[in-house]
Structure 1
Amino acid sequence: MRNYLGLLTAIILLFLISSCKSGEKLYNKGRYDDAVEAFVKKLQRRPQDATSLELLPKAYEQSQIQHENKVNGYLASNDPLKWESVRREYGAMQKLYKAIQASPAALAVVKPKDYRSELTGARENAAEVRYDRGMELLEKGDKMSARQAYQEFAATLKMVKNYRDAQQRMDEAFQLGTINVLISQIAVRSPYFQFSADQFRAELIQNLQTRNINSFVKFNDERIASAQQIRPDEYLEMQFYDFEVGQTYVDRSQRDVSREIEDRPLKDTSGKLIKRYMTVKATIYIVKKTVISRGLLDYRITDVNNNQVLRQDRIPGSYTWVNQVGSYRGDERALSDEDKRQMGGVDMAPPPPQELFLAFTKPIYDQLASDLQYFYNNMQ
C-alpha cells in the first residue's frame, strides 16, 4: 500500500512539473493564448506556483498586444467582411478574460480587460454588412442572386439572432431562389404498362425529394403541380424508347454421359480376387427458359422560360429472368458432381409483364437519380 501511494505521488508531481513546463514552453514559442490558459489551469491546482505567477501577466500582455494589432490591421483593410475577423479577435480575448476571472490566483496578478462591448459592437457591424449584402443581392431579382442572398441572411442571423427582418428576408430569398422542377407523365405507347411507368415516376419523385439533392431544387409531380398552381421553372420530360418486355427463349438440350466404375470383383481359379470395371450410362435433359426485358429511357430537362434544353441523355436498362429444370434417365452413377448440380428445379412461369417492366427499369431509375443529383449539385 505504501509503495502504491509513493508511486501515485510521483506521478502527480511529474504531471505538475510537465504542466508547468508546458505553459512555459508555449510562452517561449509565442503561443501566448495557449500559454495563458495553461498557466491559469496550473494556478487553479497550485495557486502558489511561482513560474505561473511570474509568466502569466507577461503572456496575457503579449496576447493582448497581438490581438489588438490584428484588430487594427483588419479595421484599416478594405475587406468588406473585416468585422467578422475583428469579432474573432475580440472573441479570443474575451475567452481569456473569462478564464482568468474563474481563477482567484490568476486574478491576483492579472487584471484582464472585459471585451464584451467591443465584441457586441463587432457582431452588430458584421451582421449589418451581411444584411446589406443580402438586400443588394435580393433586389437583383434572379435566382442565383437570391440563393446568394439566402446565405448572406443566414450569416446575418448567425452573428446576431433575430437581427431586424433577416429571417423574413431569408425566407423570401429561399422562395425566389428555389427551382421548381416539374416531372412529366412518362410517355408509354402501350397502355398495358402505363401503371408501371407511373410507379417508376412516383418512386423517382419520392427518392429525389428524400435525397435532398439541393435545398433550392423542388421536384413536383405534373398533376399535383397543376392542381396546386405551382409555376414550374424547369420541365423534366421522360419517354421509354425501344423497349421490349418478356422476350422469351427456350433452350432444350440433352446429352449422354458415361463413367467407368469398379464392379464386384471375381475370384480366379486360385481364389485370388480380380478387379472388374463396368460402364454406366445416363442421358441428361436440360430445359432452360430465358426471359429478357430491356429498353431505353430518354430524358430531357428544359428551361420553361426560354425553352432551352439544359440536359438530355438516354439511359439503357435490362433484366434477364432465368429458370432451369434438369432431369436424367439411366444410371445416376454416371453423373458427375457438375451434372448433379444441374438436376432438379421447378418448371416456373415467368413473372407477369408488369413486374418485368419494373425490373428492367430499376437500373435506369438508379442511374437517372444519380444523373439528376450530379446535375443539380453542380448547377450555377
Structure 2
Amino acid sequence: MENVSRLRYFIYLSLIIIGGCTTGKNALQKGDYDASVSKAVSRLQNSPKNTEAMQVLKTAYDLALQSHLRKIDEAKLSNDLFRWESIMYDYQKINQLADDINSCPACLTIVPSPSKYITELADSKYMAAGARYNSGLGYLRDNNRLAAKKAYYEFEKTLNLEPNYKDAKAKMEDAYWAAVTRVVVQPIIVNSSLYKLSADYFQQQIDQFIGKYARNRFVLFYGEQQATEQKIVPDQVLSLNFDDFVVGQTYVKERVEKLKRDSVVIGETRERKPIYGTVKATLSIFEKNISSSGLLDMSIMDWQTKKLVRQQKFPGTYVWRDSWASYKGDDRALSKQQLAMTKRREMLPPPPSTLFLEFTKPIYSQLVDDISYYYNNY
C-alpha cells in the first residue's frame, strides 16, 4: 500500500510539473515572456478551457509587450549605428505574438486585440537598411581590398533588409570587383617531348581545380590564355615550375640464399621403404626498383610591386617495384612461396610518361591543399 501511495504521489507531482511546462507557467516565472505566451497559446489551442493557461497568457502577454516596447525606446535613444536592427527585431517579436494569439480563438477571449506594429516594422527595416548602406559607402571610400570586402557584406545585408534599396545592388557589384583578387596561373613548361603528354595531363588537373574553385568568392583564377583573351590585368601571378625531375632511375638487387631441408624422401629400399635425406638448393632473389621523383616550385608574385608574396616547394616520388627468382639444385628445398617466385619472370616497367605522371600525383595533392589554404580566407 505504501508503494502505491508513493507512486500516486509521483504521478501527481509529474502532472503538476508537466502542466506548468505546457501552460507556460515555468517560462513566465523565469522571465521568458515570449516563450510563456507561445506555450500558453499552444495549450489553449488543444485545451481551450485550461484555466492556468488563460491566466498565464494574460500576464505573459502584457509583460512581453511591455518588455519589447521598453527595449525599442531604449534602442532609439542609443548611439548604436545599427540600432534599427534591434528595433526591427523587437517589432517582429511583438507582431509574432499577435499572430500566435490571432490563430487561437480561445486566446482572443483573453487578449481580444493583440497589438501589431506593421508600419513601425516597415519603417525600422528601411532605417536598418539605410544604416547598412551608409556603412558600406564608408568602407568603399577607404579604397582598399579589405574595406571593399566589408562594403560588399554591408550592401548584401542592405538588400536582405530592403531588396530594392536605392542603388545597393550596383554598389554591391562595385564593392565585389574592388575586393576581388585576380590570380593568373601560368602553365608549366616541360622541355621534353617524351613527357609532354603527361605534363599536359598534370596541367589539365590544375586547370580543372582552379576552374572549379569557389571557396572564396573574392578570389578568381584565370589560365594564362583565358586572361589574355579577356584582357585581365592580374593582381597576382602564380607560377609553377619543376626545379628538377628524374624519371626511371633503376636499381636491381640480387640476394642469394643457401637452402636445405632435412627428412625428405629421396628414394626407396628394395623393400620399398622410404629413404630420408637432405636436399639442397641455391635461391637467387632479384628485386628491381625504378624510382622517379621531382620537385615543383610554386611562387606567387604581386603583379604591381613585382614582389614575391609566397613560395613553396612540393616533392613527389614514385617507386615501381618488381621481384622474381631463380634456383639451382633440388626444388624440394624451397618453400611454396619461394617456388612460386621462381615461376615469375621479370616484368617490363611502365613507360617513362607513366612514371612521370605517377610522381606528380603526390605533388598535385600538396599543391591544391596549399593553394586552398592560402586563398580560402584571403
Cα deviation, residue 210, structure 1: 2.2
Partner AA of 2:231 in structure 1: Q
Cα deviation, residue 343, structure 1: 4.5
Report the Cα distance in structure 2 between the residues aligned to 1:265 and 1:243, rounded to whole angstroms: 59
**Is 1:205 the equivalent of 2:207?**
yes
Partner AA of 1:89 in structure 2: D
Partner AA of 2:366 in structure 1: Q
TM-score by structure 1 length? 0.87
Aligned to 1:335: 334
Aligned to 1:294: 293
Cα deviation, residue 337, structure 1: 5.3
For the residue of structure 2 that corresponds to 1:371, the secondary structure is helix
Identity of aligned residues (%): 37
Report the Cα distance in structure 2 between the residues aligned to 1:183 and 1:134, rounded to whole angstroms: 32
| Contact 1:53 1:109 (C-alpha < 8 Å) held by counterparts | yes
| Contact 1:185 1:222 (C-alpha < 8 Å) held by counterparts | yes
Q: 1:328 to 1:86 in 2, by over 3 A?
A: farther
Report the Cα distance in structure 2 between the residues aligned to 1:330 and 1:222, rounded to whole angstroms: 65
Cα deviation, residue 248, structure 1: 1.3
Which 5+ residue runs of structure 2 have no aligned equivalent? 1-10
Pairs aligned (count): 364
Cα deviation, residue 157, structure 1: 1.4
Aligned to 1:18: 18
Cα deviation, residue 299, structure 1: 1.4
**Is 1:65 the equivalent of 2:59?**
no
Q: 1:266 to 1:198 in 2, by over 3 A?
A: closer
1:244-295: per-residue Cα shift (whole Å, max 9, x none)?
Answer: 111112223432311113549999xxx9x99964222233232322111111
Aligned to 2:321: 322
Aligned to 1:258: 260
**Is 1:121 the equivalent of 2:120?**
no
Report the Cα distance in structure 1 between the residues aligned to 2:336 and 2:67, rounded to whole angstroms: 82
Aligned to 2:105: 104
Which of 152, 155, 165 is matched with 1:163 structurally?
A: 165
For the residue of structure 2 that corresponds to 1:279, the secondary structure is strand
Partner AA of 1:141 in structure 2: N
Report the Cα distance in structure 1 between the residues aligned to 2:66 and 2:342, rounded to whole angstroms: 87
TM-score by structure 2 length? 0.87
Report the Cα distance in structure 2 between the residues aligned to 1:358 and 1:266, rounded to whole angstroms: 60
Partner AA of 1:31 in structure 2: D
**Is 1:34 the equivalent of 2:31?**
no
Report the Cα distance in structure 1 between the residues aligned to 2:158 and 2:130, rounded to whole angstroms: 7
For the residue of structure 2 that corresponds to 1:294, the secondary structure is strand
| Contact 2:292 2:318 (C-alpha < 8 Å) held by counterparts | yes
State the superposition RMSD in angstroms. Answer: 2.7
Aligned to 1:172: 174
Report the Cα distance in structure 2 between the residues aligned to 1:161 and 1:16, rounded to whole angstroms: 49
| Contact 2:280 2:330 (C-alpha < 8 Å) held by counterparts | yes
Cα deviation, residue 213, structure 1: 3.4
- What pairs with 1:76-155 in structure 2 (closer than 5 Å)? 76-110=77-111, 111-155=113-157
Q: 1:301 to 1:264 in 2, by over 3 A?
A: closer
For the residue of structure 1 that corresponds to 2:315, the secondary structure is strand
Report the Cα distance in structure 2 between the residues aligned to 1:343 and 1:91, rounded to whole angstroms: 83
| Contact 2:210 2:222 (C-alpha < 8 Å) held by counterparts | no
**Is 1:237 the equivalent of 2:239?**
yes
Partner AA of 2:362 in structure 1: P
**Is 1:373 the equivalent of 2:372?**
yes
Report the Cα distance in structure 1 between the residues aligned to 2:342 and 2:148, rounded to whole angstroms: 67
Aligned to 2:4: none
Which 5+ residue runs of structure 1 have no aligned equivalent? 1-10
Report the Cα distance in structure 2 between the residues aligned to 1:195 and 1:150, rounded to whole angstroms: 43
